[in-house]
Amino acid sequence: MERLPGFRDFYPEPLPHTDVWSAAARQYIFAKWREIARRYNFCEYDGPPLEPLELFTTKSGDEIIGQLYNFTDKGGRQIALRPEMTPTLARMAAAHERQYKKPFKWFAIPQLFRYERQQKGRLREHFQFNADIIGESEPAADAELIALLIDTLCSFGLTRADFIIRLSSRNAWQQFFEAKGTAPEKAPASAAYEFFQVIDKLERVPAEETGKKLGALGFSLAEVNQFIESGHPTPELENIVQNLAARGLRDFVKIDYRVIRGLAYYTGVVFEAFDCQGEFRAIAGGGRYDNLVKLMSGGKVDLPALGFGMGDVVLLELLRARKLLPAFDSGLDVFILIEDEKFRPASLKLVQDLRSAGAAVEYSLMPAKPDKQFKRAQELKASFTAKMENHSTVRVRNLKSREEQVLAPAEIGRILHH
Amino acid sequence: MERLPGFRDFYPEPLPHTDVWSAAARQYIFAKWREIARRYNFCEYDGPPLEPLELFTTKSGDEIIGQLYNFTDKGGRQIALRPEMTPTLARMAAAHERQYKKPFKWFAIPQLFRYERQQKGRLREHFQFNADIIGESEPAADAELIALLIDTLCSFGLTRADFIIRLSSRNAWQQFFEAKGTAPEKAPASAAYEFFQVIDKLERVPAEETGKKLGALGFSLAEVNQFIESGHPTPELENIVQNLAARGLRDFVKIDYRVIRGLAYYTGVVFEAFDCQGEFRAIAGGGRYDNLVKLMSGGKVDLPALGFGMGDVVLLELLRARKLLPAFDSGLDVFILIEDEKFRPASLKLVQDLRSAGAAVEYSLMPAKPDKQFKRAQELKASFTAKMENHSTVRVRNLKSREEQVLAPAEIGRILHH
């Protein structure tokens, strides 16, 4: 029986040489995400992987349904597997914001789902590091969030030679749009949205087509390109850049107005992290969405907010390409050799005592030849082997240095910890 | 907008006083599960939360559909949100067993789903610690698995005064069943399954009803009770008990033939962990399922196996009742006080340096009165406050001992680590 198309199995190392994923690599990435969030005092939250469909259509309109993994449940409810975390966050924040001192900094590591027309190798789920700051409208919050993004990527060993944050602003484009006027027959809001969509696709759509679309909105490609090339920071962007400079992180960001982000709900600063060699899709992206909590709460709660998402798939591809993934060994501390079955009970006691002291311990469940046991200890890259020599002494061998010592069982713990 | 009924939101601490769950408590439980699995050299795996419906009906028959969270996807496929992990494990193990040395010890922490008729407060999802040993038929594997279960519960501070493992065997009941013969008009396999179901419900169904059902199968309640009270261990159970005794864990188990486990696929030893005061449902349960991998692989792979599952909900209730949950503080190391805004850039640099050194650091994103900042540091139970006094010295205060020191920024790191 096969798993569903577009879903992943995560296997223990060493991996079979087929289309499966490493559970250890996934856990490595999650642990780093949690560790850097901890340093920044971001608190973990989570919601259900399933939400009412309207949680997502409220925000993005019915057009999003085409990409959603949605279905009707046994009770006749319209359900969607969450395609992104922000609506859940907005729902949760709005429900209990009074409990938390503003601004609050939250993160989650949700599994997200989509159901598009199946393309070969295209995944229908991924995991995402989501970090958000709720309740602060000043650029100091944007800088704190972008610093978290930079440090998260650096924690994997990536450097400025590997990635760059392209920083932009919907406000800058909004001002550009309003200063130039718009096609008179369109409502300004919908024209602005169309305009943002054209900018979002600048790098992916032929210049001629873009020029036509801009023309219909009353703009020329030349003036758009001129605005991009000017790269003149708005006061909010200038403020963020100065804040990051104080932290020593100035080099990790550049103003780049080609970034505008596709999603409709962004309101201010937007940004994306890219690999410098341009081989991969965006590593992460985010921005301000100051109106979303109000929208999601039916007007009851009005809180400015901003956040980013970083997926596990592009990150893993990048880390693999840059050879930054560690070897995922068993991390075994001791392999207990049982060469004489009469020592099995005493060996089991030793296993138990070492595990109780915090060591990772393995042994052969069944009688096995000494050389087979030792080979297994080596395969598992155990730090030590230990063997009961009689009921009161253990021979301990450091598999790296090959040093041996004969000890009382109670003394082994000390050796492990240095 | 509300979340779906039967699903949970996990919030940061301090929790609002309503029907929400603690993300920190969840993470605390997951971390302990992972830590004890590491000590036992169990390797993590995971599969998709969605599987083809037939993965579950193959094992349990169509009757299980009534409890499943199943639906039809956009491609017309019959899908189920996984109600348990074992079928996924059997699928994954069968697909790549050649890659892994037998026996292999795997664990997962899946979220599991069900869709029963809605009862008040009844959850439709929970998380479960699943640990399994694949490829070893001898009781040494059962003992290793049960030791893991015991040590996992002990890692939360639970003791023998809090819980007991009730150990039983389908083999013992099978022998009992076969020795006595069966109602001649029934096929032996289906009669045995019916008989096991009656035993499984002994403690929940009135004696009279049980007596009638047993009578129809050719047994009397008296002889069943006599068999239970004899508590005579089979050789395999004796072997397991001796193995656990060698580890010093004998007291944590007792033979109790009333345990038989409802699921159809168990083949040998079965066990359940209960709180000693009998207040809660089973904390964990498991057993041998030596035929399942063969069944799930269409006969291609035949491997003996055993495992247990431990849910997060009962465990959390028990830990709360026994007052064994720690306080979930922010874990903040340093709160940086910025009393003079001219030191903000230097303070941001200090924030950055401390975080880079591994410390959890918070500060006020916006200018705030000194006493408000200090109060916030206390609320967050920070270990230290630190304040730039000029561009080259920092005043560091230990909030517990109230000791103060004046240091160069580069020297702070040292203080944090003791």
Q: What is the pTM of this model?
A: 0.96
Where does the pLDDT of residue B324 fall: very low under 50, low under 70, confident under 90, or very high at 90 and above?
very high
Give residue A118's pLDDT.
64
Do A292 and A168 reside in the same domain of the chain?
A: yes
CATH code of the domain in which B383 resides = 3.40.50.800
Alpha helices in A201-248 (DSSP H): 207-216, 221-230, 235-246
Instruction: Flag if B43 and A52 touch (Cβ within 8 Å).
Output: no
Q: Cα angle vertex B24, ends A128, A125, to 5°?
A: 20
- What is the average pLDDT across B19-23? 92
Where does the pLDDT of residue A415 fall: very low under 50, low under 70, confident under 90, or very high at 90 and above?
confident
Residue A212 has pLDDT above 60, yes or no: yes
B120 or A363, higher pLDDT:
A363
Angle, helix B344-356 to helix A139-155, in steps of 10 degrees: 30
* Strand A21-22 versus strand A10-11 pairing type: parallel
**Could you tell me the two tokens for B406?**
């004046």
Instruction: Flag if A26 and B15 touch (Cβ within 8 Å).
Output: no
Q: Would you call A122 an interface residue with chain B, using a CB distance cutoff of 8 Å? A: no
- Asked if residue A329 is part of any domain, the answer here is no
Residue A181 has pLDDT above 70, yes or no: no
Residue A184 has pLDDT above 60, yes or no: no
Do B55 and B180 reside in the same domain of the chain?
A: yes
Residue A240, Cβ density class (10 Å: 0-12 exposed, 13-18 middle, ≥19 buried): buried
Give residue A44's pLDDT.
98
Q: How far apart are CA B195 and CA B174, in angstroms?
A: 10
Give residue B281's pLDDT.
93
* Structural domain count of chain A: 2
SS3 at position B185: coil
* Strand A50-52 versus strand A43-44 pairing type: unpaired
- Nearest-by-CA chain B residue for A379: B101
Give residue A180's pLDDT.
74
Number of H helices and E strands in chain A, helices first, is 14, 19
Q: How far apart are CA A272 and CA A325, in angstroms?
A: 23
Question: What single string gives the DSSP state of each residue in B207-224?
Answer: HHHHHHHHHHTT--HHHH
Write the single-letter amino acid at B171.
N
**Could you tell me the two tokens for A178?**
């309003």
Where does the pLDDT of residue A17 fall: very low under 50, low under 70, confident under 90, or very high at 90 and above?
confident
Do A284 and A241 reside in the same domain of the chain?
A: yes
Residue A183 has pLDDT above 60, yes or no: no
Q: How far apart are CA B394 and CA A368, in angstroms?
A: 61
Do B126 and B197 reside in the same domain of the chain?
A: yes
Lowest mean pLDDT among A17-21, A249-253, B102-106, B255-259: A17-21
Q: How far apart are CA A85 and CA A60, in angstroms?
A: 13
Question: Which of these three, B264, B288, B321, is where a domain ends?
Answer: B321
Do A355 and A210 reside in the same domain of the chain?
A: no
Give residue A18's pLDDT.
79
Q: How far apart are CA B156 and CA A388, in angstroms?
A: 30
- Asked if residue A52 is part of any domain, the answer here is yes
- What is the average pLDDT across A136-161? 98
- Asked if residue A49 is part of any domain, the answer here is yes
- What is the average pLDDT across B15-42? 95
- Asked if residue A345 is part of any domain, the answer here is yes
Do B279 and B403 reside in the same domain of the chain?
A: no
- Residues A237 and A256 sit within 8 Å (Cβ to Cβ): no
Residue A63 has pLDDT above 80, yes or no: no
C-alpha R_g of chain A: 27
- Residues A59 and A88 sit within 8 Å (Cβ to Cβ): no
Question: Which of these three, B260, B290, B321, is where a domain ends?
Answer: B321
Where does the pLDDT of residue A191 fall: very low under 50, low under 70, confident under 90, or very high at 90 and above?
confident
CATH code of the domain in which B116 resides = 3.30.930.10
Q: Would you call B117 an interface residue with chain A, using a CB distance cutoff of 8 Å? A: no
Mind listing the pLDDT tens digit for each residue in B113-172?
Answer: 999 776 666 899 999 999 999 999 999 999 999 999 999 999 999 999 999 999 999 989
Phi, psi (rounded to 5 degrees) for B273 = -100, 130
- Asked if residue B382 is part of any domain, the answer here is yes
Give residue B269's pLDDT.
97
Instruction: Flag if B38 and A362 touch (Cβ within 8 Å).
Output: no
Give residue A190's pLDDT.
78
Q: Would you call A349 an interface residue with chain B, using a CB distance cutoff of 8 Å? A: yes
Do B296 and B399 reside in the same domain of the chain?
A: no
Do B64 and B176 reside in the same domain of the chain?
A: yes
Q: How far apart are CA A193 and CA A215, in angstroms?
A: 15
Q: Would you call A249 an interface residue with chain B, using a CB distance cutoff of 8 Å? A: yes
Q: From the CB of residue A155, how many other CB atoms can be counted at a distance below 10 Å?
A: 15
- Asked if residue A326 is part of any domain, the answer here is no
Phi, psi (rounded to 5 degrees) for B90 = -65, -40
Give residue A265's pLDDT.
82
Write the single-letter amino acid at A33.
W
Write the single-letter amino acid at A386.
A
Residue B200 has pLDDT above 70, yes or no: yes
Lowest mean pLDDT among A174-188, B97-111, B395-409: A174-188
SS3 at position A330: coil
Phi, psi (rounded to 5 degrees) for A69 = -90, 80
- Asked if residue A5 is part of any domain, the answer here is no
Does the N-terminal peptide bond of residue A110 adopt cis geometry, omega within 30 degrees of 0? no
- Asked if residue B43 is part of any domain, the answer here is yes
**Residue ranges of A 1-40 with Cβ closer than 8 A to chain B:** 1-4, 7-16, 18, 20, 23-24, 26-27, 38-40
Residue B84 has pLDDT above 60, yes or no: yes
Do B170 and B269 reside in the same domain of the chain?
A: yes
Do A365 and A317 reside in the same domain of the chain?
A: no
Instruction: Flag if A246 and B3 touch (Cβ within 8 Å).
Output: no
Average pLDDT, chain A: 93
B166 closest CA partner among B287, B52, B328, B267: B287
Question: Which of these three, B288, B321, B354, is where a domain ends?
Answer: B321
Give residue A122's pLDDT.
82
Q: What is the DSSP letter of B46?
A: B
Q: Would you call B96 an interface residue with chain A, using a CB distance cutoff of 8 Å? A: yes
Q: Count Cβ neighbours within 10 Å for each residue of A191-202 and write b for 16 or more, e otherwise.
A: bbebbbebbbeb
Q: How far apart are CA B359 and CA B350, in angstroms?
A: 11
Residue B263 has pLDDT above 80, yes or no: no
How far apart are the CA of A264 and the nearest CA of chain B, in angstroms? 20
- What is the average pLDDT across A234-253? 97
Q: How far apart are CA A266 and CA B232, in angstroms?
A: 69
Give residue B192's pLDDT.
83
Do B317 and B376 reside in the same domain of the chain?
A: no
A362 or B187, higher pLDDT:
A362
Give residue B265's pLDDT.
82
For residue B229, the enclosing domain spans 10-321
Do B171 and B87 reside in the same domain of the chain?
A: yes
Give residue B186's pLDDT.
58
Mind listing the pLDDT tens digit for each residue in B36-49?
Answer: 999 999 999 999 99
